[in-house]
Structure 1
């Protein structure tokens, strides 16, 4: 039997937004903000060795840049989720753009270590306001069944920002130097701010969310957090994000280039190509995972567990190899690291059906906090171990396994509980849909 366009449209749930070209344009504007934020976030990953020379710091102090940035980012996730639920996407995105652009510009002109740290913290604060806002924007403009694919595509464009850092900023830094490169990149923030103020809308006409209370509700914050956290799907999503994301983040954000150059003996050019492979793999795998999860929700946990296992296996093989690891093994590691981001995004697919739309920002903030908390702690552990072992990368990078084990134990503990709760919700919604009062 042929499925017509009309019958596909009828699959939308009551109250679902229609999607379409206008939805894609508005959502794309939000994604452009996230893209810019990721360019700024990951710009230090290709400038780590230059930062050591500019600020005269060692491994621990260098890792503090990324640790502080991620500390601010992770700490802001729940407050940002609450702000998005209360103020809407446009206002939060505009605030984020102002903050991360100011941070990038300040980092460009900083000459002291303390000033540079403050600028990275400011950048992290603005960056924290972007992804949750984009998730909320997608949920407000597209039907619910598109949620997994929309989230993965948003993340894909964020990864493209990482690609710009890896390919373009690295070359500009080599050609023009520190201040012109970082200051020039800040122009992108000013451009997207103008576009957001002029064209972005929180939701399509006729699909307005319930109005926020006119007066401050002292119990709103506590109630939003408590109700989101009470859902096993929210907690499972957070631990999925925690377990899957951080190996690739640590590799791309700071330690991948130094490890490949100083421990594996590669040239900067070859190391940059491997970092690019991580990004390209992320983009390809994200599209595949998004399509699979959108069609088969039961594939969520197997995809996550398989990605975590493959990452641990190849990471261990590279670290255990005597001498320099073969290039083929490094290529395989970087290709698998590219799957970490898409696997972590599945965490949002556990939290999304567990929470109503008016609580989605808060729940997404809790989930997003997981991976960046793991990244922050791992960055610190690697920096401390490098200083303590005389720059022995093989010892320092084994810290990844400890945090993977912690996260994996929590994922396995919560998986059954979240599945049962999700089935209860599906049954309840079907009963409500067919019930006719007497």
Structure 2
């Protein structure tokens, strides 16, 4: 059932996530300013985001365990406090160590947010609403990226570095107040979670979540479709559009806003697809991965700068990867019991951000190496240098797709042993009515 206060609880959680996304992606539009402020190289600038994502990814599993133990309210409030402190540090930092400390705090607070919001949904809403609301959560959170692309960028260019980051810190403060005053962990009458039984019990829960092939399928799905858009939005998209493609700041900001709009538009469609065709969740992940590779190939193989329509097409494809990555969390939900959802969701969330930090770091190192070798006389962020550096993504896309195919076979063997058989794709496309058990769980 859906409880009366469920929508208020969800809105507060979504706002906290929106704030977290704005904090996470804010560095993506200050790459050129940060290079000047900190006198940093491309590898050093990439290190800011890599370390932030490393902290985020490293904390996902501990956060999943903690949110199962202490609830979403405490974790969301704590995460907002950490992000606010991180942005305060960054607002006044004028050296690389100070800036890195700020991003580490932001990464730690961000890590505590999404898993906590996702855990609220199956507790407060009927199961039939969960897939769509999961997509809407991710979609709504993308408005935070829109804030970093437009208002934050305007404040940055009009008022300067410090006022811009103080604005982000203020948003975190507002999130803390709303969460503590209005958010509840459990609906009325819902049994409280059992007290923790210590490290051994935690280890057993973590091991059980990992041994479930559906959890690992979710992790590799998230790994494969989420990272490329994150790389583009958080670090290298803005420099690529400005320096390599020669766009002006207004056009580049418009494309980044298109990224957010496309993700918002794709979210409900993806949620509806998952609810109607759970048998084809992994197939959709593979299709998105193939489209991502094709879009990048089309841009990088251009003999000169890409036309605006092609760059816009790339942005739209990358944006679809955000809602597509939410399929991984649906695997975690459907293949794990309720008391283990936070842990399983944390495992899944590690995937995309590990891939993103690898890609961001390797792209930065490649750009620096090419510049030092004299390959890019046009500058550190030249088009030729980006062409080679961005090829790192094809390796990660291929590796992730291969892992999905391997683990999907294990999942389907497990389901077959339980009497659930995945029909041929053509039958699904023809709209064959599926048994309830198939509609509930299958990939």
Work out whether the TM-score is over 0.5. Answer: yes
Q: 1:426 to 1:346 in 2, by over 3 A?
A: farther
Aligned residues: 411
Give the Cα–Cα distance (whole angstroms) in 1 for the partners of residues 164 and 396 of structure 2.
Answer: 35
Matched, 1:247 2:240: no
Give the Cα–Cα distance (whole angstroms) in 1 for the partners of residues 13 and 418 of structure 2.
Answer: 31
Q: CA deviation at 1:150?
A: 1.1
The equivalent residue for 1:212 is 195
Once the two structures are superposed, the pairs formed by residues 85-96 of structure 1 within 5 Å of their partners are: 85-96=68-79
Q: CA deviation at 1:425?
A: 5.8
The equivalent residue for 1:73 is 56
Q: CA deviation at 1:270?
A: 1.0
Q: CA deviation at 1:422?
A: 4.3
Matched, 1:171 2:164: no
The equivalent residue for 1:385 is 366
The equivalent residue for 2:290 is 309
TM-score after normalising by structure 1: 0.91
Out of 99, 104, 117, the residue aligned to residue 134 of structure 1 is 117
Give the Cα–Cα distance (whole angstroms) in 2 for the partners of residues 86 and 78 of structure 1.
Answer: 13
Superposed structure 1 runs of 4+ greater than 4 Å apart: 422-427
The equivalent residue for 1:366 is 347
Once the two structures are superposed, the pairs formed by residues 112-127 of structure 1 within 5 Å of their partners are: 112-127=95-110
Contact 1:63–1:379 at 8 Å: present in 2 too?
A: yes
Q: CA deviation at 1:99?
A: 0.6
Q: CA deviation at 1:421?
A: 2.9
Q: CA deviation at 1:423?
A: 5.6
Q: CA deviation at 1:314?
A: 1.0
The equivalent residue for 2:133 is 150
Give the Cα–Cα distance (whole angstroms) in 1 for the partners of residues 247 and 68 of structure 2.
Answer: 47
The equivalent residue for 1:193 is 176
Matched, 1:100 2:93: no
Q: CA deviation at 1:20?
A: 4.7
The equivalent residue for 1:12 is none
Give the Cα–Cα distance (whole angstroms) in 1 for the partners of residues 418 and 25 of structure 2.
Answer: 39
The equivalent residue for 1:8 is none
Q: Give SS of 1:183's match.
A: helix
Matched, 1:331 2:324: no
Give the Cα–Cα distance (whole angstroms) in 2 for the partners of residues 171 and 218 of structure 1.
Answer: 48
Q: CA deviation at 1:162?
A: 0.4
The equivalent residue for 1:47 is 30
The equivalent residue for 1:226 is 207
Q: CA deviation at 1:299?
A: 2.7
CA RMSD of aligned residues (A): 1.6
Q: CA deviation at 1:294?
A: 1.2
Q: CA deviation at 1:208?
A: 2.2
Q: Give SS of 1:186's match.
A: helix
- In structure 1, runs of 5+ residues without a counterpart are 1-17, 432-438
Q: Give SS of 1:124's match.
A: helix
Q: CA deviation at 1:359?
A: 0.4
Contact 1:166–1:276 at 8 Å: present in 2 too?
A: yes
Q: Give SS of 1:219's match.
A: helix
Residues 383-423 of structure 1: CA deviation (Å, up to 9, x unaligned) = 00000112311000010001111111100101122234346
The equivalent residue for 1:261 is 242
Q: CA deviation at 1:212?
A: 1.8
